A and B are shown apart, each in its own frame.
Chain A
């Protein structure tokens, strides 16, 4: 089987995957970029207009609202989801009776279709018929009832919480796998040296989870920049685009307004921002390790 390890064979074996990857990932990205330079309604020929669509983006207040909302969701996810998933993984790592069932339950939100996630949360967050406001009112705390969705300010924060709920089990499972990879004898020898649980956490667990944290942060960044169905179901970007995130705004512009060229400009910017955020984070995390 030596022939299998030869570079030429490996290259040939990769060709089918490469073709699929080029055809289904790279080509659409390039095609989208091309259309972002055109005025196009989806029918007939596209008219090349250079960077006009990108200039238009700079003056489009709705685009900036969608970007701001996306960044709010990202901030909520970083503040709640990342530490939350880590703490959950620590809890799941404790051996208790019925622990496997808890692990399965914790993963459940991740396998629910995003469209259903949206539907479930409508019944929780809706200002009129939603569970939260109804409970608050019944408890005599009606003054605390808010427009969790559909108002002018809170929707992106609510979307961040829904995203956290949806992703926490998945990220906790990745953290859990990372925790399981840490050799037990490291803890045992540190115990013999007199380290307590807190010291073990900050001196052993967290540093050794660095790669896992990196994976989860990248998953959060890419996940947030492609949030779509949840927003669609919760508010459809409304009222009047105040809760749009970048992908829903791109969808609205492209498919509801029929402005394909402009929509592709938004898609291109979304793609580039995802890439930039991921690369900047990876670069910063590499630097912090080296230091």
Chain B
């Protein structure tokens, strides 16, 4: 009897264990309905705390839920790398969130694997949105005849500067490389960091990627990828030599190798560095810092030996907001996704972005209070400055993740004094060849 009891007990345990290990394919969202009633949309973002780090997205979601009380949003966030990893894993198990942020290269791969919703119909049925977004930004996320995403935000990057430090040391805010080098020499002599940077986060190379476009990156990249041209070419070498020259002349923090990007931002906002390599996502932080009234934004230096037009502004599409192809299986959810995209790219959405000091993706017709938001007003001024052509994209967003990683790594290799310029370029070529 005892034996039988033990066998039954073991069998129960086994069944329970197997049940626990089994995959749960039932819909997570009990509220989701294909007929009527409330719908829940899952949205996953690339920052751990969306409310704090992407306040405009959080604000848009709040306003959207007010407008559509029947649509609830389940918002989750994770740090960028963690988020990308998570999305890739979820794509394998067929459980992608309804809407999510993604890096361009893996988003393209997901599209090719048939995992993303084609937004072509959405654009056709919302012509005012199509007209409102820069056409280059829209076409950046087309592949194989599909519109696999839309720009989540405008990526506006360059060099922030603290005018007070330039005035104090009687140095001109640089417009050319020669002026930047001259400023670096003066700042070095006075123990001031010229460009705050932290190589612990190798992704923080935006201004230098902008400089790469001034050496003909977009004229060369197709040939480089097809093997006709090398990354280690005379033009790119000129830029990498200049980065090395800046290093030799003490333009970067001495402990650049142990600083993180966030520490570099702190260094700049505390008034300890003359410039910061970053983008407009730091507007709010700079606005709230002691240097708010003297902070300015530039597109970075132009080069006398550059290639083509030197007045290229890095104001491009950052990364796409995409939707899972599965949402089309549920008409109510599909409708909710369409509504969310329509709201996000509406003037209402743009107004929330502007309130949170982020440059709207769509052409925004509202105004900025210059007295209240001097830093943001400066950015908007810069965006409207005539004579500057917009880059096609940010260089690291048009190559594979591996090449992008090596590109950042090579730039920091020269800044850290670990790689010679030619060696740094050869390493990118090796990655392209793989």
A residues contacting B by CB (< 8 A) are: 3-4, 9, 12-13, 15-16, 19-20, 23, 41-45, 122, 126-129, 147, 149-152, 234-236, 238-242, 252, 255-259
Contacts and interface: CB of A to CB of B under 8 A. Distances in A.
Contacts of B110: 43-44
Contacts of B258: 122, 126-128, 149-150, 234-235, 238
Interface stretch (B47-55, B372-380, B409-417): B409-417
B131 interface: no
Interface in B229-263: 253-255, 257-258, 260
What 7 pairs across the A-B complex have the smallest Cβ distances?
A: A258-B401, A150-B258, A239-B257, A150-B257, A42-B88, A12-B10, A128-B255
B79 to A, nearest CB: 11
Contact of A13 (B10, B92, B253): B10
Contact of A240 (B255, B260, B400, B412): B412
A16 B202 contact: no
Nearest to A126: B258
A149 B416 CA distance: 13
Given A44-B112, A129-B255, A239-B257, 14 more contacts: A16-B13, A19-B18, A43-B91, A43-B106, A126-B258, A236-B202, A236-B260, A238-B200, A238-B258, A238-B412, A239-B418, A240-B419, A241-B409, A258-B405
Nearest to B109: A43
A150 B255 contact: yes
B85 interface: yes
B313 interface: no
A240 B418 contact: yes
B81 to A, nearest CB: 6
Nearest to B1: A3
B17 A20 contact: yes
A41 B109 contact: yes
Contacts of A42: 85, 88-89, 91-92, 106
11 contacts: A3-B6, A20-B17, A41-B401, A42-B91, A43-B106, A45-B113, A126-B255, A235-B257, A236-B200, A239-B257, A240-B199
Interface string B17-43: 110010000000000000000000000
B14 interface: yes
B2 interface: yes
A235 B10 CA distance: 50
Interface string B289-322: 0000000000000000000000000000000000
B3 interface: yes
B105 A258 contact: yes
A240 B105 contact: no
Interface in B192-207: 199-202
B84 interface: yes
A129 B258 CA distance: 10
B402 interface: yes
A113 to B, nearest CB: 16
Contacts of B112: 44
Contacts of B105: 258
Contacts of B418: 152, 239-240, 242
A42 B409 CA distance: 22
B16 to A, nearest CB: 8
Contacts of A259: 401-402
A259 B400 CA distance: 10
Given A3-B3, A42-B88, A238-B199, A256 B405 contact: yes
B57 to A, nearest CB: 23
Nearest to A3: B2
B205 to A, nearest CB: 13
Contacts of A256: 81, 401, 405
A252 B409 CA distance: 11
B270 interface: no
B2 A258 contact: no
B164 interface: no
Contact of B6 (A12, A45, A126, A258): A12
A257 B84 contact: no
B7 interface: yes
Report which residue of A3, A43, A150 has the largest number of chain B beta carbons within 10 angstroms of its beta carbon: A43
Contacts of B106: 41-43, 258
A43 B148 CA distance: 15
A203 B412 CA distance: 56
Most buried by B among A20, A152, A257: A257
Contacts of A147: 257
Q: Report which residue of A147, A150, A235, A238 has the largest number of chain B beta carbons within 10 angstroms of its beta carbon.
A: A238
B416 A240 contact: yes
A16 B88 contact: no
Interface in B256-284: 257-258, 260
B145 to A, nearest CB: 18
A236 B413 contact: no
A12 B7 contact: yes
Interface in B105-152: 105-106, 109-110, 112-113, 115
Query: Which of A15, A42, A127, A234 has the most B CB atoms < 10 Å from its CB?
Result: A42
B91 A16 contact: no
B122 to A, nearest CB: 23
Given A13-B10, A235-B258, A23 B200 contact: no
Chain B CB count within 10 A is highest, among A126, A235, A236, for: A236
Nearest to B14: A15
Contacts of A23: 21
Interface in B46-74: none
Contacts of A151: 257
Contacts of A238: 199-200, 202, 257-258, 412, 416
A43 B85 CA distance: 10
Contacts of B3: 3, 9
A20 B17 CA distance: 8
Contacts of A242: 418
Contacts of B113: 43-45
B402 A257 contact: yes
Determine which residue in A9, A152, A239, A255 has the highest number of CB atoms from chain B within 10 A of its CB, and name it: A239
